[in-house]
Structures are given as C-alpha cells and as structure tokens.
Structure 1
Amino acid sequence: MTKHKIYTMSFATVYPHYITKAEKKGRSKAEVDEIIRWLTGYTQEEFEEQLEKQTDFETFFEHAPQMNTSRELIKGIICGVRVEEIEEPTMREIRYLDKLIDELAKGKKMEKILRN
C-alpha cells in the first residue's frame, strides 16, 4: 500500500502553517509549541532538533518520546473525517495534532485543548 504523501513531508515545512493559523486568530507560537510538546512528549529542545533535521511526519511521530495518553480524548471531525475513527495510527496522530491546532485557532482555552 502506498503511503500518504504527508508521511514523507518534513514537519518543519508544515509547522509554520500551524503557527500562521494560530496567530491569525490571536494565538501564539508558544501555544502551538506547547500543544506539540503535550501531544508528543518532546522537550522544546528535542522538538527544535526535529525541525532542524527536517524530520518527516512519520519519523517525527514514530520517535516521539511519549505520546500523551490523553490524546485519545480528542474527538471530532477534521478534514471531513471523524478523528476517533481513523484506523491508521500515524494518520490518527497527525489528525490529532490538526484537531488541536484547530481548537486553538477557534479560541478554545488551553486547559481544554490539553484535556486537563
């Protein structure tokens, strides 16, 4: 089976789009970074290393230090698909992140985004 092209894309090429989406709605890069660290378990330094290495999406999620167990609480529709129904694990992780960034851009409070 052919992998989706997002898997081979550098996370660093999409990351600025997450920031732009958040900033257009009055949110910050720091909040985007916090969401990514919460989801993946990367420290800020480890995350920045992944950006510098131009790590692809698949490797970025495969090497994540500790995927947050609360991510399974993320529900809803992203790109016309219900996140909780995505069977392919890597795609589900990517869509979890997309959903969290959407919630940030929609003005949701960080406590709720981070499922506290």
Structure 2
Amino acid sequence: MDNEWVNTMAAPRIYTTSFASVYPHYVAKAEKKGRSKAEVDEIIRWLTGYSQEDLDVQLKKKTDFETFIAQSPRLNPSRDLIKGVVCGVRVEDIKEPTMREIRYLDKLIDELAKGKAMEKILRKS
C-alpha cells in the first residue's frame, strides 16, 4: 500500500501495530461472551479471504495491520453491508480505506460478542 499520504500526517498507530498483538483481544472478547476462537477466525477469513493456514502465517509473522489488510487475498464484496457504530464512529462513514477495513473487523467482532448469529454476522441472506 502506498504511504505517500503520510507526508502530511502521521499514520494511525493501529496501522503499525501487529495484527497478532490485537488478535488475542478479539478472541478474549468473544470467549468472554461464550463464543469461540473458531468463530473469530471464521469472521476474519470471511472478511479478508485468508485461508486458515495463511491467517496462522500472518499471526506468526506478526504482520502489521496495514500490511495484513493490504495483502488480504480477497476482501469480501459483501463487507459494504456492515453498518453501525464502532468507537463512536459510523463504519460506513469512514473514508480512509484501511481504517474502514479495520473498523469493519471490529464491528463484526462486536456483533459476535453481542450474540448475533453467524449467518447474520457474515451477511448471508
């Protein structure tokens, strides 16, 4: 991903944070509400197109969030159906593409922790 826009402002810290350092928080949030690591992984695979093996490699490599999103094999075309508020911001209103993808993931994990059915989380009709 081209970082030329960084010339005028610093990239958000989350971009340089390793995905592997945030992943356990996603799992803990889900498990605290009776959901599973397998469901967290399914959500991540659905959103990004990573296989389980590729996801495990990204976690092992401690890939930063920006690279994790940029190298996603196939961002799910149904992800634009994800609506709502995360951290006080409407995900559908986020203009910066990388931040929007990160917030999509946050929103899906929130939905999992709130007990929403997987078929609804994964926007299946």
Output the amino acid matched with 1:34: E
Task: Return the alpha-carbon distance in structure 2 between the equivalents of residues 50 and 23 of structure 1.
Answer: 22
Give the drift of 1:69.
0.5
Partner residue, 1:38: 46
TM-score (norm. length: structure 1): 1.00
Residue 93 of structure 1: CA displacement?
A: 0.2
Runs of 4 or more, structure 1, over 2 Å off, are: none
Give the equivalent residue in structure 2 for 1:94: 102
CA distance in 1, matches of 2:105, 2:93: 15
Report what 2:37 is aligned to. Answer: 29
Structure 2 match to 1:80: 88
CA distance in 2, matches of 1:13, 1:2: 21
The alignment's TM-score, normalised by the length of structure 2, stands at: 0.92
**Cα distance in structure 1, aligned partners of 2:59 and 2:84:** 28
Identity across matched positions, percent: 75
Structure 2: which 5+ residue stretches go unaligned? Answer: 1-8
CA RMSD, 1 decimal? 0.3
Alignment of 1:27-66 (within 5 A): 27-66=35-74
CA distance in 1, matches of 2:119, 2:62: 30
Residue identity matched to 1:32: V
Structure with max Cα Rg: 2
1:50-85 deviation digits (Å, cap 9, x = unpaired): 001000000000000000000000000000000000
* Matches of 2:30 and 2:60, distance apart in 1: 21
Structure 2 CA distance, aligned partners of 1:65 and 1:40? 6
Does residue 69 in structure 1 map to residue 70 in structure 2?
no
Aligned letter for 1:53? K
Unaligned runs of 5+ residues in structure 1 are: none
Structure 1 residue identity aligned to 2:49: G
